[in-house]
Every structure is written in C-alpha cells, then in structure tokens.
Amino acid sequence: MSPTEAIPLLIVVLLMLSVGGGDVQEMSVTFQGATDLDSLADVHVVAGGTTTVPADATVDGDIYVIGGSAAIEGTVDGDVTLLNGNLSVDDAATVTGSLQTYSGSAAVSSDASVGRVSQFEAPTPSSSPAQRAGGFLLQFLVLGAFGWWLVDRHPLVIENVGAAITDHALVSAVVGSLGATTLLVLFVYMAFTLVLLPLAIVGLFAEFLTILYGQAVFGYLIGTRLPIESDGVATLAGIGTLLLALELFGFVPFLGGLAQLAIAVVGFGAVVNTYFGLQRFEPITIPGGA
C-alpha cells in the first residue's frame, strides 16, 4: 500500500478510535514484511505486508486492517476491523470483541469464535477495473491541475524542488524518511488527546498533500525529458506517466511497494529541504582543514 493510500485510511482509524472514546496509550503500524503478533500495545494497524496472530498466542487490544493481509490463528482479546486489504480468521481462532468489515476481503471460518460480526455492504475499491480507472483519473486530474498551475504561475518553485530531487536525491531521501516517519508518529500520538485531535488530522492531511506535491514534481521532471514544447502539457504527460508507473509497480510484490515508498520519501524530503520550493537547496559543506 502506498503512502497516498495509507494516510487517508489512517486518519479514518484515528477518527474511529477517538469516537470510540477508548484509552489508547500505544499504537503500532506495519507497512511491509511478515510480522507475528504475540503481544499488542492497545492498537495495531496493518497497512501492508502480512501480519499473523499465531495459533498459540493471545494478544490484548484492537487490530485495524487498512492494507496488506492479516491472519488470525490464535486469540485477539479485543476488536478486529477491516477497512481494506485481506483478513482471514482460522477455525481455532478467537476474537472476544466484534469483527467489523467495511471493505476488502474477509474469510471467517464458521468454526471460529467471534463475539459479534458486522459487515458494511460497500463495493471493494479494487473490485472493478472501472473503479480503479476512475480513481486513477481523479488522481491524474488533481495532480495534473496542480502541476500545470505550478509550472504556469510559479516555475521557479517547482524547479527548486526538482533540483533537490535530481541533484540531492540521497539527502532528500534521508530527510523525507526521517521527517515523514517522525511526523506520522507525532500526529498519531496527538490524536489520542481529544483536544489535539483536530490538529493531528490537519497535520496528517498536510503530510498527505506534501507527498502529492512531491509526486507532482516527479511528474514535472519526467515531462521535461519528453519531446513536448509546452511546459504545461509536458508536465501533464509526465504526471500521467508517473501515475501509470506507480500503478504497475503496485503489482510487483515487495519491490513495487519499495519503489512507491522511495518516490514518496524523496519527494517529501525535497519539498521540505526547499521550504516548499521557496528556496534553492544547497547542502551545508564543512570547510576542510588546512
């Protein structure tokens, strides 16, 4: 699952936790790889990869699945909520609370012990090619309009961010990975305080927009290498090429997710390093000794 898909669903999870009024002290999130849960810190969010509750394990807390796959083989002393992705509950599994399904694919054994099962009937976002095409078109229109506006009205801004990506990709990647992760953790913990919940949601939304900003600049850079004279049209073509490549990357296990994550963190870091394009980024150099 790409960051542009995970962050909006994570905002939904935070809203659900706040509305529920539970006392959440710790929260963990997995984005990729294989993870076995033998203990749980209040809430665990599955955003990618495969998370398993082993058959001999009992975990206390709630599990939210917003991407990837979750397999319940043991006992979950809490609720399990499926917002997207895949969920399986085996024959000998136990869920003491409620199992709620809003979207995604759920396979719950009839022999499993579940406190209460509820299902919201809604089409799975990826179930229809037409729906996927519609989502792709919407993202293209939003990013394309933003990219066109930047190139037409503020060309120096997008050039500054683009230069940070092409000339200082490693620095941008380091800043982007550290900055995006730190802000994500900060906003998640802020959400557990009712007073700071609106600020946390605004912060997550701003982080989401910054990632989209970086993607638009990547599209601009691709467009500059296309044989198109108009900068606006070239940016549109570049953004379309980027989004199509990201869609294709998504079908490649593990490597596809890494490619999407790399584009997100490098773009995020470049935007931050240039103060959203307002200034050219030049790394600090330490003068050599005599």
Q: What is the 3-state secondary structure (H, E, C) of the chain?
A: CCHHHHHHHHHHHHHHHHHHCCCCCCEEEECCCEEECCCCCEEEEECCCEEEECCCCEEEEEEEECCCEEEECCEEECCEEECCCEEEECCCCEEEEEEEECCCEEEECCCCEEEEEEECCCCCCCCCHHHHHHHHHHHHHHHHHHHHHHHHHCHHHHHHHHHHHHHCHHHHHHHHHHHHHHHHHHHHHHHCCHHHHHHHHHHHHHHHHHHHHHHHHHHHHHHCCCCCCCHHHHHHHHHHHHHHHHHHHCCCCCHHHHHHHHHHHHHHHHHHHCCCCCCCCCCCCCCCCC
Look over the chain and give the mean of its residue pLDDT values, rounded to a whole number.
84
Residues 137 and 266 in one domain: yes
Query: How would you class 111 by CB atoms within 10 Å of its CB: exposed for 0-12, middle for 13-18, buried for 19 or more?
Result: exposed
Residues 93 and 65 in one domain: yes
The tokens of 224 are what? 């500059």
**Is residue 278, in this structure, part of any structural domain at all?**
no
Prediction pTM value: 0.66
Residues 42 and 169 in one domain: no
Cβ neighbour number for residue 67 with a 10 Å cutoff: 25
Residue where a domain stops, chosen among 96, 119, 142: 119
**Is residue 183, in this structure, part of any structural domain at all?**
yes
Residues 101 and 165 in one domain: no
Residues 99 and 165 in one domain: no
Distances in Å between the Cα of 136 and the Cα atoms of 21, 102, 132, 241 are 36, 22, 6, 12
Local confidence pLDDT in tens for the 290 residues of the chain: 666 667 777 777 877 776 665 566 677 788 778 888 877 667 888 888 899 999 988 888 889 999 889 999 999 998 999 988 899 999 999 999 999 998 888 999 989 999 888 876 544 444 467 777 887 898 899 999 999 999 999 999 999 999 999 999 999 999 998 888 888 777 766 765 656 767 878 888 899 899 999 999 999 999 999 999 999 999 999 999 999 988 887 777 677 777 888 999 999 999 999 999 999 998 776 665 44
The whole domain housing 22 covers: 3-119
Residues 97 and 145 in one domain: no
Using one digit for the tens of pLDDT, what is the confidence trace for 214-246?
999 999 999 999 999 999 999 999 999 999 988
Residues 30 and 153 in one domain: no
How many domains are contained in the chain? 2
